[in-house]
Structure 1
């Protein structure tokens, strides 16, 4: 199982020094990937609760970097680790502009990009960027069509319900062929069907493993129904770490893990995930009140602990 780490693109450590420190240190430690999320707004009173924990949006989201710019910066300071978005709200910009940005990042990173897409959870962000909240599924389907067409290169044209692209010569090609892998954060039958039918993998968030693997089985079934090889799909599991008292080692109850727990409980979860068949697991230590140095230390202890198991 590949292990990854979230970049500090949210909160007080979001900035060039934090990205350089975590990128270089993670690669030197032996992590296999770096990931970052996507926010454009931090409203005082969101209309929809945050879909995790107590429903309160993390204060770290008030300070947010552009994920593709941050990953490009990380690419310049690393040479080996994969670079992923978890998740990029790809509907917030025209698909043609998105295709150009993703292709450029895949080129400058020499083929290390994993494109993780999602819808987000907050209607206010859609309002702020001038994109309708309704019809997100259809907009995503057409966005995927345009990405695939653009990455095919040569002469390209598109005419769909939402976007029209006149015939044009596309000379910019991604390093990875036919394009960088595209994964989707989805938790509905429609989303599972989309992954099985046309995408490269799934971006779930940590949950009890029986539920996780039940959802994965549904995706595998959808891939088989679409005459695709399910073994070509992969799962990259995000774990938003909320440590209990690290000094007293106060354990969380079994029903609370992996939402919260001690470092040892998260290590047990990661080892069990590997045994269950999870392909990749990446941790985010940045959504709790720790300094950058403490987060880097936790990352080292986590990697060592998983390997030791």
Structure 2
């Protein structure tokens, strides 16, 4: 199982030195990938509760960096680790502009980009960027149509329900062919079907492993029904550790480092392809989080 680490693109460590330190250290420690998320607003009273146990949005989101720019910066300071978004809200961007940005990042990183899309949870952000909250699934499908065609063809045009792109020559192509892997965060039946039928893989969050693997089985069955080989799909599992000094009954929402290490080992045995941890919501300092990341990968690799 591959292991990844989130970049410090939120909170007080979201600055150049923080990104450089984590990028270089992660690569030196043997991590396989670096990940970042997407945020454009941090209202004190969101219109929809944050999807967590207490419904309160973490205050680290008040300081947020652009995910694609951050990954380009990380690419310049690394040579091996893959670079992923978990998740990028692609619907906030015109699809043609998104295609150009993603292609550029894949070229500049020499083919290390994993594109993870999510639909978000807060209508306020959609309002702020002038994109309708309703119809997000259809908007994502048409965005994926445009990306796939943009990456595949030398001459490209699109006429759809939401977007029109006049015919153009597309000279810049991603280093990964036919394009960077696209993974989707999804949990409802329609979203899981979309993963199975359209994506390279799935971006779930930590949950009890029996439930996780049951959802993965659903994706595999949907892929087979769409004449796709489910063995070609991959799962990249996000874990947001809330560390405590005693074992927590509400794990994996919170627990000890040893519990998260055991969880990662069990995930590998269950067939999870990749697991990445995001320590950004920990009150620990950057140096302390790097120490935790080092202890985590060393223990999981020992297995």
TM over 0.5: yes
Cα distance between partner residues in 2 of 1:239 and 1:154: 39
Aligned-residue RMSD, C-alpha: 0.6
Cα distance between partner residues in 2 of 1:59 and 1:200: 32
**3-state SS, counterpart of residue 84 of structure 2:** strand
Instruction: Using structure 2 for the length normalisation, give the TM-score.
Output: 0.99
Deviations 1:63-92 (A, max 9, x none): 000000000000000000000000000000
Partner of 1:215: 215
Residue 257 of structure 1: how far off its partner (Å): 1.3
Cα distance between partner residues in 1 of 2:196 and 2:112: 23
Tell whether the 8 Å contact from 1:146 to 1:158 is kept in structure 2 after alignment: yes
Residue 45 of structure 1: how far off its partner (Å): 0.2
Residue 47 of structure 1: how far off its partner (Å): 1.2
Partner of 2:143: 143
Matching residue within 248, 266, 270 for 1:252: 248
**3-state SS, counterpart of residue 242 of structure 1:** coil
Tell whether the 8 Å contact from 1:153 to 1:172 is kept in structure 2 after alignment: no
Number of residue-to-residue matches in the alignment: 303
Shift >4 Å, 4+ stretches: none
Residue 53 of structure 1: how far off its partner (Å): 2.7
Cα distance between partner residues in 2 of 1:234 and 1:201: 5
**3-state SS, counterpart of residue 114 of structure 2:** strand
**3-state SS, counterpart of residue 167 of structure 2:** strand
Instruction: Using structure 1 for the length normalisation, give the TM-score.
Output: 0.97
Which runs of no fewer than 5 residues in structure 1 stay unpaired?
Answer: none
Cα distance between partner residues in 1 of 2:138 and 2:96: 16
**3-state SS, counterpart of residue 165 of structure 1:** strand
**3-state SS, counterpart of residue 186 of structure 2:** coil
Cα distance between partner residues in 2 of 1:184 and 1:165: 24
Tell whether the 8 Å contact from 1:153 to 1:171 is kept in structure 2 after alignment: no
Partner of 1:281: 275
* Structural mapping, 1:147-226, within 5 Å: 147-226=147-226
Tell whether the 8 Å contact from 1:36 to 1:86 is kept in structure 2 after alignment: yes
Is 1:272 matched up with 2:266?
A: yes
Which runs of no fewer than 5 residues in structure 2 stay unpaired?
Answer: none
